[in-house]
Structure 1
Amino acid sequence: MRWAQVSVVTTHEGADLIGNILMELGAAGTEIDDPSLVNAYIDAGLWDYTDLPRAEDTETVTVRAYLPEDARLEESLLTLAARIEGLRLTDAPIGAGTVSHTFVADEDWAETWKAYIHTEKIGRRIVVRPTWEEYTAQGDEIVIDLDPGAAFGTGAHATTAMCLRWLEHIVCPGMRVYDVGCGSGILAIAASKLGAGEVIAMDYDPVAVAVAEENIRQNGVTNVVTCQSDLLAVCEGLAQAELITANIIADIIIRLFSQLDRNLAPGGVFLASGIISDRIADVERAAQENGFTVLDMTCEKEWAAMIIRRTSDMIS
């Protein structure tokens, strides 16, 4: 079998969104061609890069992945194009979003990728285990079973890892949780295994919903976690949540503030991640304008995760 190397031209902030789609279409992993990294190496004086010209355009990155050349490939490419257009309609910062593909020599990319993905402990208790590895929980550890080839969000990315670490501190027994833009469902599953009493995972992308539902079933938490199509709009008329998580992008997080007040219970916490470093000030400003305050923040690489609460809750 040959493999199609699929390339999508996007932006730094759009790279995770595009990677999400490619993983859900069956890619075993993604690689990112980022010209700003080459410039950083040149500036650092690393000899391997001294003969390379500095990149002029450092805002454009290319995300690549490998899909099998089988009966599903044409449909996968059409789905990719349609979902990129869907992101564009939501004003997601994906840049050009152009798609191209070439065919490469026969190689089992999925099996090759497995050599680089292993069981990983994130935080004090959470262990993320790829489905092909064996692992027995130690002490009070909780194990989340996920196949990186099935969906984006295994805990390896900084935005997801920061959220998982925060969940260990925030989730209380019986807590009601809304996971907005759930992707693989990893945060919803973690919240349920940490003791949440009811979790609603939601994503506007029906493919992500299907992937999350399978992961929820595989982890045996269907009695706690349900999955819905759409974002916070599906929670209208439901009880408010003590915790709302959103590991998306800054632009969507900013738009969520207009709905947050009626969906977050008094004293509740909004855990927002997927915020690239140069958008931190924008999110802080939007929080303040909508009556919320950023209480705490963790940063890893070029990403930030924020703990946000109503300003009035802090005063009272």
Structure 2
Amino acid sequence: MEKKHWLKVTVKGDPLLADPLCDFAVGILGAGVETGAVDEPGYGIVNCYLEVDDISKKTVDGVIGTMVSHLEQLQEHFRLTGATVEWEILQEEDWGKNWKKHFTPFEIIPGFVIAPTWERYDRKPGELVVVMDPGMAFGTGHHATTTLSLGLIREVVAEGTGKKILDVGTGTGVLAMGALLFDQSATALALDNDPQAVDAARENASLNGLADRMEVSLAPVGDLDKSYDVVVANIVHDVLVDMADHLVGGVGPGGVLILSGILVGEQLANIVRVFTAKGLEKIKVAEKDEWAAVCFARA
């Protein structure tokens, strides 16, 4: 069997960048990360590990370009300069086994727990639990943007109303699955442009007994000809802006759009400008650390 490869990206900069950069690498890029604590050597250095099937220059340049672009935004946000990015290709090692040690059951929002398939978890009375095997490439749901998105989804998805949910950029499928647990009569379409993510989301839907209510597809959001009660997209600012027309077009009468993957500050302000200009009304903003999520409504 051909060995897998890992792209190791090392960012050296002001320690203030470490936490938000780790959040971005894990939650958005689906990377495994390591960084030193305050009192450890190497504090401020972030190592990110991404599994790559294709180690071509185009693939590597794409990943590095995304990381550099976000790093520049973070430095501007915190008024810092001087961070550097280095990378190398590593042969397969036992990353998966080591990484699993750090994925244990956790409560992402009150009453909602994400648990790995390889560790037993005893559900408490009234608790909602999603069991999943995300694989290192797709993240575990720890990212603040996932927390923010799930909180807003729970507020707008009422039990028993049978809402139609569209999750764009689904990754592991956790947001769509959360919506289906919040409303046992809801249905969801989960989209992603990564075939591995689609496979992971389908498997997770099956593991949680949701496959009959959750369709997972590679279809581009622009190809859809239906509208939905709740559209959610937890991606990154620039992609959300590029997809604005398609995302707004998917929101049916009286429906809502929940967006996350947005930095507090100029990114948040711009998202509000772009989407209100397209006829939606901002009804709530939720923030955690340096991240924000916005809920818009269509009249």
* Range class of TM-score, shorter chain: 0.7 to 0.9
C-alpha distance in 2, partners of 1:83/1:273? 26
In 2, Cα distance between equivalents of 1:215 and 1:209: 10
Aligned partner of 1:273 in structure 2 is: 260
Distance 1:3 1:167, change over 3 A: same
- Report the 3-state secondary structure (helix = DSSP H, G, I; strand = E; otherwise coil) of the residue aligned with 1:78: coil
Render the CA deviation track for 1:84-129: whole Å, top value 9, x for unaligned. 639979xx8688997413469x7x5433333332111222331100
Structure 2 residue aligned with 1:169, among 148, 152, 155? 155
- Structure 2 gaps of 5+ residues are 73-83
Residue in structure 2 matched with residue 8 of structure 1 by the alignment: 9
What is the TM-score with the length of structure 2 in the denominator? 0.75
1:151-162 to structure 2, matched below 5 A, reads 151-162=137-148
Corresponding position of 1:71: none
Q: Which amino acid aligns with 2:49?
A: A
Shift of 1:218: 1.7
The SS at the match of 2:55 is helix
Does structure 1 conserve the Cα–Cα contact (< 8 Å) formed by 2:23 and 2:144? Answer: no
- Against the structure 1 CA distance between its residues 86 and 153, is the aligned structure 2 distance closer, same or farther, given a 3 Å change threshold? closer
1:254 aligns with 2:235: no
The residue identity in structure 2 corresponding to 1:65 is Y
Pair member with larger Rg: 1
Q: Is the 8 A contact 1:5 1:64 kept in 2?
A: no
Q: Say whether residues 1:30 and 2:39 are aligned partners.
A: no
CA deviation vs aligned residue, 1:250-304 (integer Å, no higher than 9, x gap)? 1121233212343211111111111022411111110222112221111112110
2:62 maps to amino acid: E
Q: Distance in 1 between matches of 2:64 and 2:258?
A: 22
Residue 194, structure 1, aligned to residue 182, structure 2: yes
How far is the alpha carbon of 1:222 from its aligned partner? 0.8
**Deviation sequence 1:154-211 (CA, Å, 0-9, x none):** 2211011111222222213311000001011111111112225210000122222122
Whether contact under 8 Å (2:109, 2:151) holds in the other structure is yes
Pairing 1:110–2:111 present: no
SS where residue 222 of structure 1 aligns?
coil
* 2:53 pairs with one of 72, 76, 79: 76
Is the counterpart of residue 233 in structure 1 residue 217 in structure 2?
no
State which of 43, 49, 61 in structure 2 corresponds to 1:65.
49
- State the partner residue of 1:204: 193
Partner of 2:122: 136
Cα distance in structure 2, aligned partners of 1:259 and 1:19: 26
Alignment match, 2:279: 291
| 1:170 to 1:187, Cα distance in 2 relative to 1, 3 A | same
The question of whether the paired residues in 2 share the 8 Å contact of 1:7 and 1:62 is answered with no
Q: Which residue of 2 aligns with 1:44?
A: none
Task: Look up the equivalent residue of 1:299 and give its one-letter code.
Answer: E
Give the corresponding residue for 2:290.
302
Gaps of 5+ in 1: 42-47, 56-60, 68-74
TM-score by length of 1: 0.72
8 Å contact 1:30–1:64 — kept in the other structure?
A: yes
Letter in 1 for 2:164: R
Q: Residues 201-252 of structure 1: CA distance to partner in whole angstroms, max 9, x if unpaired? A: 00122222122122122222110001111442232x22x1100000001112
> RMSD value over aligned CA atoms?
3.8
* Deviation, structure 1 residue 63: 4.7
Question: How many residues get paired?
Answer: 274
Q: 1:197 to 1:79 in 2, by over 3 A?
A: farther
After superposition, the Cα gap between the structure-2 partners of 1:209 and 1:263, relative to the gap in structure 1 and judged at 3 Å, is same
Instruction: Determine helix, strand or coil for the equivalent of 2:243.
Output: helix
1:31 is matched by which residue type in structure 2? E
How far did residue 151 of structure 1 move? 4.5
1:184 touches 1:211 (CA, 8 Å); kept in 2?
Answer: yes
Distance in 2 (alpha carbons) for counterparts of 1:136 and 1:115: 19
Give the counterpart of 1:127 among 113, 124, 129: 113
